[in-house]
């Protein structure tokens, strides 16, 4: 009888703790993380907290919080004994090598052989697509390739949800990183296009390899969903991968987890509309 009463008491105490906990402390809200204070009045701008407004010409009012997209860029370096960040174990050359993923900014100049990873999160249900195009010195672009999703990563699962961090490549992919490689002398940058759509994109098949798209497809998507996109950037370049971010493949991120390096937004967009955002990764000349 005493053991039963003790169990009942434990359940009541746990329930009271959960009731007292503010649900907002557990919910991942990227737009609320980037800003503080009450909702702004009409025609007023919100001031970012912890972020730099990289696009001052794009207003931050009238943004539907569930439409924003968070992106973090990671560059891997060999782990040192003194490192406190989480390590990515890579199986290669019949040995296990340890790497430390560190955040980089969009202004970071990359070199041949750099190992990169991308993490993306949304605050709504939907589907994620990532397109890569080479850019050349004259400003022209190469052919667009859909590098995510593929059946090699999570069996082609490209769904997004609140608090779910999508890593590209995934931690258990082989290898779990992209290697930067110039295709020719005038290859100056990689242009990544990230699409988060509430529904699956028509005419896109998920295959084992990067899927070649048409210029017309990508141009139409960008024209429909990529105009007047702004972004905020956090000054956390060099920050190492955390345990919360490493464990995000099996559990949802909470409001207290590290925020993404970049937050993209588009004013006056409905939650039923896709988001199309672009990032340029420059090679060091």
| DSSP helix/strand/coil, 226 | coil
**β-strands 211-212, 145-148 pairing:** antiparallel
The span from the CA of 236 to the CA of 233, in Å, is 9
What pLDDT is attached to residue 28? 81
Phi, psi of 117 (to 5 degrees): -135, 155
Separation in Å, CA 70 to CA 11, 118, 119, 162, 208: 37, 11, 8, 11, 26
Task: Looking at 97-185, list the stretches that DSSP marks H as alpha helix, in order from N- to C-terminal side.
Answer: none
Query: In the chain, which ranges are E strands?
Result: 51-53, 69-78, 88-92, 95-104, 115-122, 126-136, 145-148, 159-160, 166-168, 178-179, 187-197, 211-212, 230-234, 262-265, 275-282
- Which residues does the chain have with pLDDT short of 70? 1-27, 35-49, 93-94
pTM for this predicted structure: 0.86
pLDDT digits (tens, 9 = 90+) for 137-152: 999 999 999 999 999 8
pLDDT digits (tens, 9 = 90+) for 32-65: 777 644 344 455 556 666 899 999 999 999 999 9
Q: What ranges do the domains of the chain cover?
A: 23-282
| DSSP helix/strand/coil, 189 | strand
């Amino acid at each position: 009888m005493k053991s039963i009463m003790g169990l009942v008491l434990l359940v009541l105490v746990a329930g009271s703790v959960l009731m007292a906990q503010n649900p907002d402390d557990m919910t991942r809200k990227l737009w609320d993380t980037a800003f503080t204070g009450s909702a702004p009045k009409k025609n007023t701008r919100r001031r970012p907290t912890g972020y730099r407004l990289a696009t001052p010409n794009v207003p931050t009012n009238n943004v539907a919080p569930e439409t924003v997209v968070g992106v973090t860029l990671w560059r891997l370096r060999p782990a040192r004994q003194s490192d406190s960040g989480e390590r990515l174990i890579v199986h290669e050359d019949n040995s296990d090598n340890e790497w430390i993923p560190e955040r980089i900014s969009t202004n970071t100049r990359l070199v041949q052989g750099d190992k990169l990873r991308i993490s993306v999160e949304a605050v709504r249900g939907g589907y994620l697509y990532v397109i890569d195009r080479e850019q050349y010195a004259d400003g022209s672009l190469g052919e667009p390739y859909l590098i995510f999703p593929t059946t090699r990563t999570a069996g082609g699962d490209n769904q997004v949800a609140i608090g779910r961090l999508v890593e590209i490549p995934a931690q258990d992919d082989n290898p779990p990183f992209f290697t930067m490689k110039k295709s020719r002398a005038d290859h100056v940058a990689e242009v990544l296009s990230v699409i988060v759509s509430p529904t699956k994109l028509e005419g896109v098949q998920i295959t084992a390899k990067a899927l070649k798209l048409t210029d017309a497809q990508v141009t139409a998507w960008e024209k429909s969903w990529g105009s007047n996109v702004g972004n905020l950037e956090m000054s956390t370049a060099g920050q190492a991968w955390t345990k919360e971010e490493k464990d995000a493949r099996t559990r949802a991120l909470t409001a207290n987890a590290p925020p993404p390096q970049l937050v993209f937004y588009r004013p006056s967009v409905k939650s039923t509309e896709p988001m199309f955002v672009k990032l340029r990764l420059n090679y060091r000349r």
